[in-house]
Amino acid sequence: MRMCVRCDRITDAPVVVAEVHQNSGPGCHVYACRECAPGFPPVPDVLELFGGPYEGGRERGEREE
Ligand SMILES: [Zn+2]
């Protein structure tokens, strides 16, 4: 079970849409649900999704955590 990086829903069929490589340790994967994955754009720097100006995934008004 993984959380979709786009819509913040938990999916039991996650699709890897990006890999994050770190210097200090093993990389991790970024997942999207099957609904979002087919249209997922290239993500040159996925860190922007979490710490940058991008505030996506909040339009649904749920799962504020
Ligand atoms: Zn999704």
DSSP letter, residue 48: H
**Is the predicted pLDDT of residue 64 greater than 80, yes or no?**
no
pLDDT band at 4 (very low <50, low <70, confident <90, very high): very high
**CA 13 to centroid of ligand 1, rounded, Å:** 10
Residue 3 to residues 12, 23, 24, 33, Cα–Cα distance (Å): 9, 24, 24, 8
**CA 23 to centroid of ligand 1, rounded, Å:** 28
Distance separating alpha carbons of residues 41 and 18, to the nearest angstrom: 10
Quickly count: other Cβ atoms within 10 Å of residue 43's Cβ: 16
Distance separating alpha carbons of residues 18 and 40, to the nearest angstrom: 10
**CA 20 to centroid of ligand 1, rounded, Å:** 19
**CA 12 to centroid of ligand 1, rounded, Å:** 11
pLDDT in tens, 6-56: 899 999 999 988 888 878 888 888 899 999 988 876 655 555 555 555 555
**CA 6 to centroid of ligand 1, rounded, Å:** 5
At residue 24, the pLDDT reads 83
